[in-house]
Structure 1
Amino acid sequence: MATQTIDDLPTPALILDRAILRRNLKRMSERLLSAGVMLRPHLKTAKSVEIGRMAVEGHDGRITVSTLAEARYFADGGFNDILYGVGIIPSKLGAVTELRRRGVNLRIVTDNLSVAKAIAAAAKDGDTFSVFIEIDSGGGRAGLPFPALPGLLDIARVLHEVPGVDLAGVMTHAGHSYHQSTPDGIAAVAEQERLAIVTAAEKLREAGIPCPIVSAGSTPTAVHSRDFTGITEMRPGVYVFNDLDQEYIGACGAGDIALSVVASVIGHYPHRNQLLVDAGALALSKDISAQEFQPKVGYGTIADPPAAGMAVIECSQEHGFVAADDPLPYGNLPIGARVRILPNHACITAAAYDRYYVVDSDLDGGRSVVDVYDRINGW
């Protein structure tokens, strides 16, 4: 059978450049190893056992996930230390115990006293739990707000005093780092993140409550933090692929984006200097995060464009409207021609697909499909 290339794939299709992926993984791994901080990659981005195994090479294998479906999938793939990084509710504790009974150390998160009490009540008949208390370090999503940290000790005591519950530590996510675009700006958020989580840990220890793990992390803060003192692990996620948002934030370079969507040209419209491709909102997502710093990216930019500034400027469900700053060279982009679109937000773009078609730009410029990786979707 002839080698399959990206021109042979049904479109739209999700393309992963293995060479760039490996460089991204190596860079983050070396950074955290040199800082003396454990890496717990957030695999909500990749959702792939193959990529997860590459991400933890040289580390102890701990990971983060964002759904119970991911937790089951990675447990089946041999991962044993898994942080489910979304606030737990009592009705999901049964699913947690199913995995823990298999010997998987599935850890959970809460910032709520009533949930802490429900966890404590469920720790019986041999069932145990490992719990992190979430801290809001400024992102305003979830967690006990810093610096007040209301209820921290009350929640911690409920968890610590039950024999079947391990209070694993505290965790935070500096999501507000995504609204910075300079190293100094991101470093300032990283210090805010560090101060919040380390202060919470110290408050627990001063009350006689152990706090072994101090968990922080976003890709920008992992890249630009200038001080990891007191942090024991970091949980970056999108660094495995990177995307346009990370490029314009300054967490990666233009050549560090490993993920793209290959689409086919399906229409020419010279009267408006546009063409249509068969990748629309479902194939690309309508995430516009990268527009905060570069409005012209639209819903994704064209890789190696034959005209300056080519981007998907609008999309309907299955149609992408491509325009450019210069006149489009329609002769170079006949009907059926392939283009690759770089995503604004890799995590959300990838969520539409059940597999990665893997290429390697170090081998033949990334034309041949060298592997296929599966991925888990759903909840």
Structure 2
Amino acid sequence: MHEMEQVKALANQITLGLTVENPEALQVLAEQLEKPVRIWVKVDAGYHRTGVPVQDLEMIRSLLRTAQAHEHMTPAGVIIHGGHSYDVHTHEAIEAIHLATLGGIALLRQALSVEFPGLEYSLGDTPACSTQNHFAGATEMRPGNFIFYDVMQHYIGSNALDQISVCMACPVVAKHPERNQVVVYGGGVHFSKD
């Protein structure tokens, strides 16, 4: 883990939470941590990008147990993210994904609450946080770019255009229709270095 020195420095200064999804990462942390950290287990709700599949309760339990057994780690909770909600474009489809994610939280709470009382159950994706009103079982919300929004969120149905906090106008400097691409005059300096 290349960032280990930074992790250790931060753990000296703040209450640090780290997200893990596999035993190998926990092993590296166990070997190198010198100060306490809080461990969050990343759970895959169906997006299939990162996280332990929500149905793999044994792996989730194993990760939490490993953290609990180490003097410098405390199980903080599970983080579940319905990232596939970004791929749909109707409120009904977003709601279906959200309900399935809440079902995952219910499954996790039922499976983990006796052995790990006080765990946090964190969820969040901007489409669901923007369009849904029920979050039963969650103890924390992480709504992504919810407070800023963007055009992608508008096309999904998360927000109106006038709810976007920041817009950048970038001139098109080249068109490549054969690749379905355009090149704009806008990059690192324009978006993040000023």
Q: What TM-score results when the alignment is normalised by the length of structure 2?
A: 0.85
Matching of residue 238 in structure 1 with residue 148 in structure 2: no
Distance of aligned partners of 1:149 and 1:351 in 2 relative to their CA distance in 1, 3 Å threshold: farther
1:210 to 92, 101, 117: 117
Distance of aligned partners of 1:248 and 1:316 in 2 relative to their CA distance in 1, 3 Å threshold: closer
Which one has the largest radius of gyration? 1
* Counterpart Cα distance in 2 of 1:350 and 1:190: 36
Q: Which residue of 2 aligns with 1:138?
A: 46
Query: Does the CA contact (< 8 Å) of 1:107 and 1:130 recur in 2?
Result: yes
The residue identity in structure 1 corresponding to 2:86 is Y
Query: Does the CA contact (< 8 Å) of 2:172 and 2:183 recur in 1?
Result: no
Distance of aligned partners of 1:151 and 1:350 in 2 relative to their CA distance in 1, 3 Å threshold: farther
Query: Does the CA contact (< 8 Å) of 1:97 and 1:128 recur in 2?
Result: no
Structural mapping, 1:203-282, within 5 Å: 203-206=111-114, 208-263=115-170, 277=171
* Counterpart Cα distance in 2 of 1:352 and 1:128: 35
* Counterpart Cα distance in 1 of 2:107 and 2:84: 19
Distance of aligned partners of 1:153 and 1:180 in 2 relative to their CA distance in 1, 3 Å threshold: same
* Counterpart Cα distance in 2 of 1:246 and 1:314: 21
Q: Which residue of 2 aligns with 1:196?
A: 104
* Counterpart Cα distance in 2 of 1:154 and 1:204: 11
2:8 to 97, 119, 123: 97
1:177 counterpart SS class: helix
Q: CA RMSD in A?
A: 2.7
CA shift, 1:119, in A, is 1.9
Q: Which residue of 1 aligns with 2:183?
A: 316
Task: Work out which structure has the larger RCO, using CA pairs closer than 8 Å and 6 or more positions apart in sequence.
Answer: 1
Q: Which residue of 2 aligns with 1:152?
A: 60
Identical columns (%)? 24
Q: Which residue of 2 aligns with 1:176?
A: 84
The residue identity in structure 1 corresponding to 2:98 is A
1:108 to 9, 18, 42: 18
Query: Whose helix proportion is higher, 1 or 2?
Result: 2
* Counterpart Cα distance in 2 of 1:113 and 1:230: 26
Structural mapping, 1:109-128, within 5 Å: 109-124=19-34, 127-128=35-36
* Counterpart Cα distance in 1 of 2:130 and 2:168: 26
* Counterpart Cα distance in 1 of 2:45 and 2:188: 27
Number of corresponding residues? 191
Query: Does the CA contact (< 8 Å) of 1:201 and 1:211 recur in 2?
Result: no
Per-residue deviation, residues 289-321 of structure 1 (Å, max 9, x unmatched) = xxxxxxxxx9xxxxxxxxxxxxxx8523649xx
Q: Which residue of 2 aligns with 1:75?
A: none
Distance of aligned partners of 1:107 and 1:202 in 2 relative to their CA distance in 1, 3 Å threshold: same
Structural mapping, 1:6-155, within 5 Å: 90-102=1-13, 104-124=14-34, 127-155=35-63
**Structure 2 unmatched ranges of 5 or more:** none
Query: Does the CA contact (< 8 Å) of 2:8 and 2:33 recur in 1?
Result: no
The residue identity in structure 1 corresponding to 2:182 is C
Query: Does the CA contact (< 8 Å) of 1:167 and 1:211 recur in 2?
Result: no
**Structure 1 unmatched ranges of 5 or more:** 1-89, 264-276, 282-297, 299-312, 320-347, 356-379
Q: What TM-score results when the alignment is normalised by the length of structure 1?
A: 0.46
